[in-house]
C-alpha cells in the first residue's frame, strides 16, 4: 500500500521542469528554491519556484488537507500554495521596461497552467495529472528597486492547486 502525503514536492518538480523547458521562458534562469544573492545578481531574467527573494525567511509552500466524507477516508483533498517570484533587471533605469519584463515572465508561467490535455491549450492545468486544477494567482506583489547598475523589478506570486491524494 502506498500513500501520498502531499503533492507539494511533485508539483514543485513539475513547475521547475515545465518552466525550464518552456519556449516562452527562453532566456529566463529558473531556480528551484532560494539561491544565494550573489548567484542571481548579474542575471537579467530570473524565475524562482518555491522562493521569495524579497522575504527569504518566508515559506516556500503551504498545504491544507481535508478528508472527503463519502469515500470512507481513502482519499484526502489538498489545497496548496507554492510561492514563486520573477525578476527582470538590466542597466536600463526605466521602471516600465522592467515592470513589463517581469510581467512577461509571470504571464509565461500562467500559460503553463492554461488548458488541459482534453481540450487543448497552451499548458496543462492538471500538471500532467498531478492535480485537479491549478492557477497562477495572487496576491501579486511588485517590488521595484533602483540599484547601482540600473533598475530591477521583482514580482512575487503564488501557484495554487487542488489535488486528490489517494491511497493505493
Concatenating the DSSP letter of every residue in 113-136 gives TSSBTTTB-SS-TTTTTT-SEEEE
Q: Is residue 122 part of a domain?
A: yes
CATH of the domain at 121: 3.30.2000.10
Q: Is residue 75 part of a domain?
A: yes
Higher pLDDT pick, 132 / 71: 132
Q: Is residue 1 part of a domain?
A: no
Percentage above 70 pLDDT, the chain: 94
According to the model, what pLDDT value does residue 118 have?
72
Q: Is a pLDDT exceeding 80 seen at residue 68?
A: no
Q: Is a pLDDT exceeding 90 seen at residue 4?
A: no
Q: Is residue 35 part of a domain?
A: yes
- Distances from the Cα of 165 to the Cαs of 6, 68, 77, 130, 153, in angstroms? 7, 11, 6, 9, 37
According to the model, what pLDDT value does residue 71 have?
66
Q: Is residue 118 part of a domain?
A: yes
pLDDT tens-digit readout, 38-55? 777 789 999 999 999 998
Q: Is residue 3 part of a domain?
A: no
Q: Is residue 137 part of a domain?
A: yes
**Distance, CA of 87 to CA of 102 (rounded, Å):** 5
- The model carries a pTM of 0.91
- Distances from the Cα of 95 to the Cαs of 40, 98, 130, 146, in angstroms? 19, 5, 38, 9
Backbone torsions φ then ψ of 131, nearest 5 degrees? -135, 165
Q: Is residue 2 part of a domain?
A: no
- Distances from the Cα of 96 to the Cαs of 104, 131, 151, in angstroms? 12, 35, 10
pLDDT tens-digit readout, 83-108? 999 999 988 888 999 999 999 999 99
Domain count along the chain: 1
* Parent domain of 46: 8-166
Q: What is the mean pLDDT of residues 66-92?
A: 85
Query: Which of 2-16, 58-72, 73-87 is predicted least confidently?
Result: 58-72
Amino acid at each position: 500500500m502506498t500513500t501520498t502525503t502531499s503533492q507539494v514536492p511533485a508539483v514543485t518538480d513539475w513547475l521547475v521542469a515545465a518552466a525550464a523547458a518552456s519556449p516562452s521562458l527562453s532566456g529566463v534562469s529558473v531556480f528551484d528554491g532560494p539561491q544565494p544573492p550573489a548567484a542571481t545578481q548579474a542575471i537579467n531574467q530570473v524565475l524562482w519556484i518555491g522562493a521569495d527573494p524579497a522575504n527569504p525567511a518566508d515559506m516556500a509552500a503551504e498545504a491544507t488537507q481535508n478528508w472527503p466524507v463519502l469515500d470512507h477516508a481513502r482519499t484526502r483533498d489538498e489545497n496548496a500554495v507554492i510561492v514563486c517570484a520573477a525578476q527582470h533587471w538590466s542597466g536600463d533605469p526605466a521602471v516600465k521596461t522592467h515592470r513589463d519584463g517581469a510581467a512577461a515572465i509571470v504571464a509565461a508561467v500562467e500559460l503553463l497552467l492554461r488548458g488541459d490535455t482534453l481540450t487543448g491549450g497552451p499548458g496543462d492545468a492538471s500538471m500532467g495529472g498531478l492535480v485537479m486544477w491549478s492557477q497562477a494567482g495572487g496576491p501579486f506583489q511588485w517590488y521595484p528597486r533602483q540599484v547601482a547598475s540600473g533598475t530591477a523589478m521583482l514580482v512575487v506570486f503564488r501557484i495554487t492547486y487542488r489535488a486528490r491524494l489517494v491511497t493505493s
